[in-house]
């Protein structure tokens, strides 16, 4: 079986199709998923979905760098409370996005650091969003204050050198549909350069559909296409990739049952 460690059934492009998507995922060996929040409403929606589909769906709660300007002590307290919910397996997605800069960078840093502190306080792993900010993100992960925090750098898009730094800090790489893109040599190079025990698979659905669905709406069933491509690259049978990445997901996210 596979676990899609990052998807957005809480997104308007998927929320009305969830039952059909869950059936297709099941048929393609994708038995569980983590629905990741990106602000307060989507985090609450993720938890509700996890309550409705307790065998298949788990939740992550957090404020995305795009929404960092709305982070304050009230939202922090709300996230502290909801993070204690049994179905919440991670704080995320959180991090830095210097590609879009939808929130000012000081706000991005403040919300990221606060949520890293929260993760540490409630003993949950983090799901990190990082775009054009690998050196800055890695510097924060390496701060002594966050030495006990672990998690995943979702939708891996860094260099091989950054991949090695990330796994040396005890973090996983979330490998998604970009692995199958024609021009994604750096992603493929990272996926073979680090230990297999440091890799998770994901879709980021509805975004970033793998080949041959590139440009269309993604869905968690396509985690299978990512895992098959990874199996090819690592010269291992699909079953072995499924077994190891699922075990990795349970190590990264201890509240997954
Ligand atoms: Ni995402």
> Over the stretch 6-27, which tens digit does the pLDDT of each residue have?
999 999 999 899 999 999 999 9
CA distances to 10, 79, 90 from 76, rounded to whole Å, are 21, 5, 15
Asked if residues 97 and 134 have their Cβ atoms less than 8 Å apart, the reply is no
Question: If you measure from the C-alpha of residue 92 to the centroid of ligand 1, how many angstroms do you get, rounded to a whole number?
Answer: 9
Question: If you measure from the C-alpha of residue 182 to the centroid of ligand 1, how many angstroms do you get, rounded to a whole number?
Answer: 21
Question: If you measure from the C-alpha of residue 142 to the centroid of ligand 1, how many angstroms do you get, rounded to a whole number?
Answer: 23
CA separation for the pair 254, 257 (Å, rounded): 8
Question: If you measure from the C-alpha of residue 208 to the centroid of ligand 1, how many angstroms do you get, rounded to a whole number?
Answer: 10
Asked if residues 255 and 59 have their Cβ atoms less than 8 Å apart, the reply is no
Question: If you measure from the C-alpha of residue 188 to the centroid of ligand 1, how many angstroms do you get, rounded to a whole number?
Answer: 20
Residue 7 DSSP one-character state: E
Q: What are 225's two structure tokens?
A: 């296409």
Question: If you measure from the C-alpha of residue 6 to the centroid of ligand 1, how many angstroms do you get, rounded to a whole number?
Answer: 6
Question: If you measure from the C-alpha of residue 193 to the centroid of ligand 1, how many angstroms do you get, rounded to a whole number?
Answer: 24
Question: If you measure from the C-alpha of residue 95 to the centroid of ligand 1, how many angstroms do you get, rounded to a whole number?
Answer: 11
**3-state secondary structure (DSSP) of residue 253:** coil
Q: What are 71's two structure tokens?
A: 């982070």
> Over the stretch 72-94, which tens digit does the pLDDT of each residue have?
999 999 999 999 999 999 999 99
> Over the stretch 182-239, which tens digit does the pLDDT of each residue have?
999 999 999 999 999 999 999 999 999 999 999 999 999 999 999 999 999 999 999 9
Q: Is the pTM of this model over 0.95?
A: yes
Q: List, edge to edge, every strand of the sheet that includes 172-175.
A: 2-7, 30-36, 57-61, 88-97, 126-131, 151-153, 172-175, 199-201
Q: What are 254's two structure tokens?
A: 């201890």
Q: What is the chain's mean pLDDT, rounded?
A: 97
CA distances to 165, 185, 202, 209 from 35, rounded to whole Å, are 27, 28, 11, 16
Closest CA to 205 of 54, 35, 52, 44: 35
């Amino acid at each position: 079986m596979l676990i899609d460690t990052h998807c957005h059934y809480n997104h308007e492009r998927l929320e009305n199709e969830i039952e059909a998507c869950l059936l297709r995922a099941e048929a393609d060996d994708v038995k569980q998923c983590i629905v990741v929040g990106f602000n307060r409403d989507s985090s609450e929606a993720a938890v509700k979905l996890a309550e409705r589909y307790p065998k298949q769906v788990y939740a992550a709660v957090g404020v995305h760098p795009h929404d960092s300007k709305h982070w304050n002590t009230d939202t922090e307290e709300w996230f502290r409370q909801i993070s204690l919910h049994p179905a919440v397996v991670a704080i995320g997605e959180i991090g830095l996005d210097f590609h879009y800069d939808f929130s000012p960078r000081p706000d991005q840093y403040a919300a990221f650091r606060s949520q890293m502190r929260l993760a540490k306080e409630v003993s949950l792993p983090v799901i990190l969003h990082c775009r054009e900010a690998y050196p800055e993100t890695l510097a924060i992960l390496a701060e002594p204050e966050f030495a006990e925090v672990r998690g995943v750098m979702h939708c891996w898009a860094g260099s091989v050198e950054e991949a090695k730094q990330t796994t040396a800090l005890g973090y996983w790489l979330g490998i998604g549909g970009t692995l199958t893109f024609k021009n994604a040599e750096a992603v493929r190079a990272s996926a073979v350069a680090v230990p297999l025990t440091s890799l998770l698979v994901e879709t980021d659905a509805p975004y970033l559909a793998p080949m041959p669905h590139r440009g269309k709406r993604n869905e968690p069933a396509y985690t299978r296409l990512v895992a098959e491509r990874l199996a090819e690259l690592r010269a291992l049978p699909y079953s072995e990739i499924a077994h190891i990445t699922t075990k990795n997901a349970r190590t990264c996210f201890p509240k997954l049952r």
